[in-house]
Amino acid sequence: MRMNDNGVGIFLDADGVLWPDTGAGGILEGLVEAKRRLRILNQILERRENVFIGVVSNQTLAARAAIPFEDFRLEVFSTFNRLQEDSLIDDFRVCFHHPNANYLPLRIDNCSCRKPSPGMIIDLIKSHALQPSHSLMLGDRITDVLAARNAGLNEAILLLGPRMLEANISVQSRHWGSLIQFRIAKDFSEFLEILKWWIKNDK
Amino acid sequence: MISNILILAAGEGLRLLPLTSDNPKPLLEIDGENTTILDRLLQQCRKYLPGIPVKINIGFCAEKILFHFSETLYLDRPIFLYEKDILGPAQTLVQLSRIDIGRTLVIHGDLVLSDEGFYRFVEFAKSTKSQVIVCHERPRSQARSEVICSLNQRKMERIIEYSPKNNQLDLNTKVLVSSGIFIIDFSKVSSFNAEAKQPLSPDLLNFINHEKMDVYLWSEWRYAIDSIAALEEVRFKLSSNT
């Protein structure tokens, strides 16, 4: 992947990437930290016109019936809209579904959007005419890596953490290929260092 | 030229229990200075095959291998290939052939190799465009399979597994056995139908051997860490070297 190519997409997970993973409601407190991290990312990229920054996020707090769905949806969209208004991201997609949701309208077993399904990434690729072969995904779970692979992205980078290889396998088995290829980064700061190196060396 | 390096490190290391009960075998320390089997292999790949991407397949205790490499500089880190369920080396190669096509150096992740040997092998690898199987000599009594070569020993004919009827053979005779190092053209692998947990040899290697693999005879020291005794031996060897 070369950062100077056209149609480069950088896809970011939200919980554990834009802000620390504190559970399903992390987004409610995550805006300030997300802005801080994304500002640095944008500085490093010098906001290149050829590089798209997108967020693809599973948000399950409402599915767990911990908060009314409409309230949560507004909160989530408000957060990502503000990042978009500040030109820190170009676009986002959110999946509110969960196969075991307590809130039944969100209980969907095989939606095309919930990662590791590639639906959210593919939708952004189509909407913004991106090149999967010039794009990467950063996530903190193996399901993010799987979504990237299922969408045909060139690179997937996994942030290290105690739950990085966790996945609800019984539900998601159809998405598991036999070999899942990725690189690792210790944390978001190190991801930025890797990105800097790629840009400097035209990788 | 070699386009990729694959180090096989997904196995459960059952022969080294209890050392491998919650630690993958390639992370066993070998020199008293925190160098693991995997570190040494990776260092040798970087030194003698610079610039060639290194991939490590991980499965058993995968998170330990990932955290282990978090301590290294990111530019020195390999690419990882995660197996949720342990596939076995043959199926790993078949799956990888669907991602990568190219001439790939495949190394078992439990090998401790001399620098001299690694260097000589790489020089040989540069001199041939063929697929390669690395072999060493072993008394027939200690071999589980045998690499049958052409008369001048430069091309592999096939690998045979020993069965009880082979017991009638002269057990003291030295035979060539696979050293766990190969150069494989992945385009030749994709149509092989591997079963779960199937080892690399002999079925897969016989399958891809239509164009006759070159045989490279490893003459320097090497250890396959397939027992606690072998681990102790290599630790002694490396401590003596320093």
* C-alpha B37 chain-centroid distance: 12
CATH topology of domain A8-197: Rossmann fold (3.40.50)
* Cβ neighbours of A181 in B, within 8 Å: 55, 79-82, 99
Listing DSSP states for chain B in one string gives ---EEEEEE-S--GGGTTTTSSS-GGG-B-SSSS-BHHHHHHHHHHHHSTT--EEEEEBTBHHHHHHHHHTS-GGG--EEEE-SS---HHHHHHHHTTT--SEEEEEETTEEE-HHHHHHHHHHHHT--S-EEEEEEEEGGG-SEEEEE-TTSSBEEEEEE--GGGGGS-TTSEEEEEEEEEEEEGGGTTT--PPTT--STTHHHHHTGGG-PEEEE--S-EEE--SHHHHHHHHHHHHHH-
What are the backbone dihedrals phi and psi of residue A81, each rounded to the nearest 5 degrees, phi first? -65, -40
Q: How far is B191 from chain A (nearest CA, A)?
A: 16
Cis preceding linkage at A99, omega within 30: no
B74, A190: Cβ pair inside 8 Å?
yes
Q: What is the pLDDT of residue B14?
A: 82
A132's tokens: 């999967």
Distance from CA of B80 to the nearest CA of A (A): 5
Chain B partners within 8 Å of A193 (Cβ):
74
Cα distance from B82 to chain A (closest Cα, Å)?
5
Read off the pLDDT of residues A28-68 as tens digits, 9 standing for 90 and up. Answer: 888 999 999 999 999 999 877 889 999 999 998 888 888 89
Give the pLDDT confidence score for residue A64 in this predicted structure.
86
When CB atoms are compared, the residue of B74, B75, B82 closest to A180 is B82
Q: Which phi and psi angles does A197 have, rounded to 5°? A: -65, -40
Provide CATH code, domain B4-241: 3.90.550.10
**B8 and chain A in contact, CB less than 8 A:** no
Q: Using pLDDT thresholds of 50, 70 and 90, give the confidence band for residue A25.
A: confident
Instruction: Indicate yes or no: CB of A158 within 8 angstroms of CB of B66.
Output: yes
Q: Please say if the pLDDT value at position A152 is more than 60.
A: yes
pLDDT band at B151 (very low <50, low <70, confident <90, very high): confident
ipTM: 0.91
Is A160 in contact with B92 (Cβ distance < 8 A)? no
Task: Tell me how far apart the alpha carbons of residues A64 and B146 are, in angstroms, rounded to a whole number.
Answer: 59
Q: Which of B110, B132, B109 is nearest to B120 (CA)?
A: B132
User: For residue A186, which residues of chain B lie inside 8 Å, CB to CB?
Assistant: 70, 74
Name B87's Cβ contacts closer than 8 Å, sequence gap at least 6.
A178, A179, B10, B59, B95, B194, B196, B197
Is residue A171 predicted with pLDDT exceeding 50? no
Can you tell me the distance from the alpha carbon of B189 to that of B184, in angstroms, rounded to the nearest whole number?
Answer: 8
Closest CA to B89 of B221, B180, B191: B180
A1, A179, A186, A193, best to mutate vs chain B, most B CBs in 10 Å:
A179
pLDDT band at A83 (very low <50, low <70, confident <90, very high): very high
Q: Quick one: closest CA in B to A193, which residue?
A: B74
Domain boundaries, chain A: 8-197
Q: What is the C-alpha separation between A171 and B101, in angstroms, rounded?
A: 32
- In this complex, is the C-beta atom of B86 within 8 Å of any C-beta atom belonging to chain A? no
pLDDT confidence tier of residue A78, bands split at 50, 70 and 90: very high
Which pLDDT score is estimated for B90? 87
Which range is least confidently modeled, A188-192, B17-21, B97-101? B97-101
Q: What is the pLDDT of residues B101-140, one digit of tens each?
A: 789 999 999 999 999 999 999 999 999 999 999 999 999 8
B88/chain A closest Cα distance in angstroms: 11
Instruction: Give residue B188's pLDDT.
Output: 87
Binary contact (A179, B99; C-beta < 8 A): yes
| Residues in Cβ contact with A58 at an 8 Å cutoff, skipping those fewer than 6 apart | A94, A95, A114, A115, A143
Label residue A14 exposed, middle or buried (CB < 10 Å: 0-12, 13-18, 19+): buried
Chain B residues touching residue A182 (CB < 8 angstroms): 79-80, 82
Question: Smallest CA–CA separation between A14 and chain B, in Å?
Answer: 22
Give the DSSP letter string of chain A.
--TTSTTEEEEE-SBTTTB---STTGGGG-HHHHHHHHHHHHHHHTT-TTEEEEEEEE--TTTTTSS-HHHHHHHHHHHHHHHHHTTS-SEEEEE--BTT-SSGGGB-SS-SSSTTS-HHHHHHHHHTT--GGG-EEEESSHHHHHHHHHTT-SEEEEE--TTTT---HHHHGGG--S-EEEEEESSHHHHHHHHHHHHHTT-
Q: Is A173 a residue whose pLDDT tops 60?
A: no
pLDDT at A170: 45
Q: What is the mean pLDDT of the segment spanning B27-43?
A: 93
Q: If interface means Cβ-Cβ distance under 8 Å, which residues of chain A face chain B?
A: 142, 145, 158, 160, 164-165, 169, 176-186, 190, 193-194, 197
> How much is the pTM?
0.92
